[in-house]
Amino acid sequence: MCDIPSYKFKPELHKKYLSRFLNHRLPSFFASMDTNRSVIIYFCLAGLDVLGNIDKLSRKKQNEIIECIYSLQVVNENELVSGFQGSSFLNTKDNRSQPSPYKWCHIANTYSCLLSLLILGDDLSRVNKEEIIKSLRVLQLRNGSFKGAIEGAESDMRFVYCAACISYILNDWRGIDIEKMMQFILNSISYDGGIGQGPELESHCGSTFCAVASLALSNNLHRLSKRQFHNLRRWLLMRLETGFNGRPNKPTDTCYSFWTGGALKILNAYQFIEADDNPQFILMTQDKYGGFAKWMNAVPDPMHTYFGLAGLSLMKFDNLREMFCPLNCTRKVHDHLKTLHAGWS
């Protein structure tokens, strides 16, 4: 390990940075993300939750966000496209009261919206669970993977994870052929021990986390052979330099402190890393006005800010809230969800 100068963690700046996105318009350089506002909302809320600051949002503001999220819910029994939109950006006067391609759900937005509601303490009573499960079922392909939307979307391990999370949150796995999902994950294990976005694709820590977390959420980690389990942990442990990288011969990146670290946590191997330098790598990417960036001297964004905080939480850093890695949320949020599940049964 190389020597890294010491940087001071400034949580108050991060609270202000994340709150700014919830209280004001998106900055102009985020214009391309306008159709995915629900994802930005999730990263901001999740980051504030890790900081233990979600309760500092006024009740009025929390209710406003909850109502905004529910306004994005799509219920379409005929076309099986129910779930949540990324934003209302593409909605028009003409499609306001009728089905439309622009009002189709996206599996990543549905996942983000459900988690955001849980972070805000909502009971999900207004979520149309039945229609979401029906719509989820038609997104699974023959090879066991999932596509992001009914048309015009990719299919890979990211959306397998979203499907597993949605099923876990709603406590209903009827929308997934679990055996097909299992085979897709196992077929995506590469020669080096890591897992790619699909069969015969390069191992990547993002897709590896998605696969491992999907196995954990569906209680199928035992389906990994002893050799696969050992090789997977070894490949992930080798991603640590001064921070974590996402694949061999790539630079370290703030977000992989969670993608890689979270996968190691699920596989009970996080304790094997030499983590002394890792907090300082994340703090190197801390902006003087708040937020974390991908790399040092880069522009911060809500995604890397959240994953930087989540990564620091895995290191038990500065009293940040403990993570429940498989669902990509704090244990506090997961405890709330399990309370809801007990009431539904």
What is the model's pLDDT at position 1?
43
45 lies in some domain: yes
208 lies in some domain: yes
d(CA 256, CA 246): 6
d(CA 109, CA 128): 15
User: Which residue has tokens 């790598």?
Assistant: 281
Kind plus residue range of the DSSP H or E element containing 336: helix 331-344
What is the model's pLDDT at position 23?
86
5 lies in some domain: no
Q: For the chain, percent helix, then strand, then coil, each to nearest 5?
A: 50, 5, 45
Phi, psi of 195 (to 5 degrees): -125, 135
289 lies in some domain: yes
What is the model's pLDDT at position 5?
56
What is the model's pLDDT at position 31?
80
User: Which residue has tokens 């109502």?
Assistant: 67
Query: Is there a contact between 293 and 304 (Cβ–Cβ < 8 Å)?
Result: yes
Domain span at residue 72?
11-26+33-344
CATH number at residue 263: 1.50.10.20
Phi, psi of 338 (to 5 degrees): -65, -30
What is the model's pLDDT at position 212?
98
pLDDT in tens, 170-218: 999 999 999 999 999 999 999 999 999 999 999 999 999 999 999 999 9
151 lies in some domain: yes
190 lies in some domain: yes
3-state secondary structure of 95: coil
What's the Cα-to-Cα distance from 70 to each of 21, 103, 330, rounded to whole Å? 19, 14, 22
148 lies in some domain: yes
Domain count, the chain: 1
Reading the block at residue 223, the tokens are 């389906």
What is the model's pLDDT at position 262?
96
pLDDT in tens, 71-111: 999 998 888 889 999 888 777 777 766 666 667 889 999 99
What is the model's pLDDT at position 279?
86
Give me the average pLDDT of each 10-residue run along the chain (345 residues).
67 95 82 87 97 93 95 88 85 70 86 98 97 95 94 90 98 97 97 96 97 98 96 95 90 94 96 77 93 92 96 92 97 98 91
2 lies in some domain: no
What is the model's pLDDT at position 101?
67
CA 69 to chain centroid: 17
